[in-house]
Amino acid sequence: MSVIALPKSASGLKDLGYLQDIPAVRQLGLLVLVAGTIALGLWLFFWTQKPDYVPVHAGLDAKSVDEASELLRGAQIPFRIEPSSGALSVPTDQVGAARMTLASAGLPSSNARGFEAIQGDQGFGTSQFIENARYQQALQTELARTIANLRPVREARVHLAMPKPSAFTRQNEPASASVVLELRSGSTLEQGQVNAIVHLVASSIPDLPPERVTVVDQFGRMLSNADPDSDDAIGARQFDQQRRQEAVYVQRIQELLEPMTGPGRVSAQVSVDMDFAQTEEASERYGPQTGLVRSEQLSESGNLGSAAPPPQGIPGSASNTPIAANTAAPNAAAPANAAATAPNATAATATSSVSGPGSRTAVRNYEMDRTLTHTRQAPGRIRRVTAAVLVDNVPAGVSETGKAPRQRALTAAELQRIETLVQQAVGFDAQRGDVVSVVNAPFARGALDPEEQAPPVWQNPRARDLLRIALGGLAVLVLIFTVLRPAFRQLIAPRRRAASVALVEADDEIPVTLSTPSAAKASIASPAVMNFDEKLEVARTAVNTDAKRVAQVVRNWVESDG
Q: Are residues 180 and 252 in the same domain?
A: no
**What does the pLDDT read at residue 333?**
42
In 335-400, beta strands by DSSP E: 360-367, 370-377, 381-391, 394-398
Give the list of residues 6+ apart from residue 346 with CB closer than 8 angstroms, or none. Answer: 363, 364, 365
From the number of C-beta atoms within 10 Å of its C-beta (0-12, 13-18, 19+), residue 476 rates as middle
Q: Are residues 98 and 186 in the same domain?
A: no
Q: Are residues 95 and 84 in the same domain?
A: yes
Residue 9 in any domain: the answer is no
Q: pLDDT (tens digit, 9 = 90+) per residue, 153-179? A: 988 999 999 888 777 777 778 899 999
Residue 286 in any domain: the answer is no
Q: Are residues 266 and 141 in the same domain?
A: no
From the number of C-beta atoms within 10 Å of its C-beta (0-12, 13-18, 19+), residue 288 rates as exposed
**What does the pLDDT read at residue 212?**
92
**What does the pLDDT read at residue 378?**
75
Q: pLDDT (tens digit, 9 = 90+) per residue, 273-321? A: 998 887 788 877 776 666 677 778 888 776 655 555 555 556 665 555 6
Give the chain's residues under pLDDT 50: 1-7, 10, 12-14, 16-17, 19, 324-325, 328-353, 448, 497-525
Q: Are residues 46 and 65 in the same domain?
A: no
Q: What is the residue range of 47's domain?
A: 22-51
Among the listed residues 260, 296, 554, 532, the one whose alpha carbon sits nearest the alpha carbon of residue 410: 260
Number of independent structural domains in the chain = 4
CA angle 305, 306, 307 (to 5 degrees): 120
Q: Are residues 140 and 210 in the same domain?
A: yes
**What does the pLDDT read at residue 301?**
73
Q: Are residues 146 and 66 in the same domain?
A: no
CATH number, residue 78? 3.30.70.1530
